[in-house]
Structure 1
């Protein structure tokens, strides 16, 4: 084998590895631990957990004041 062919193959492999490293670093930088919560908006100012849950529109059907469950 000619030395030029070997050098070209090594250069091509090194270039592919550098490109792969750059793509991985970009992905890790853009997804650095951000998360989204599904908490109800405006409940951080409620005086109690009951008041916060009563004003939540997704829980209006299940609003029964006779039985309350608290999970600690």
Structure 2
């Protein structure tokens, strides 16, 4: 009788682990390769990186009031 209970508990734990594995694999398969970038719109045809950054409206609003110093 005790062996049957232990076997049932092991079977339930194994079933739960298999279900979790299937759920994780499904999630990883559905979200494969999705990422988001913060690149400015319309800069893919810029002549250089500096030209792309100069035309970025988010950077133009900042102005020259902030300076960064690298030590």
**TM-score interval w.r.t. the shorter chain?**
0.5 to 0.7
Equivalence for 2:4:
4
Give the distance between the partners of 1:30 and 1:44, measured in 2 at CA. 28
TM-score in terms of structure 1 length: 0.62
After superposing on structure 2, the runs of 4+ consecutive aligned residues of structure 1 that deviate more than 4 Å are: 66-72
With over 3 angstroms needed to count, the CA separation of the structure-2 counterparts of 1:60 and 1:13, relative to structure 1, is same
CA RMSD of aligned residues (A): 3.9
CA distance 1:10–1:61, shift in 2 (3 Å): closer
Unaligned runs of 5+ in 2: none
Equivalenced residue count is: 70
Correspondence for 1:21 = 21
TM-score normalised to structure 2 length:
0.63
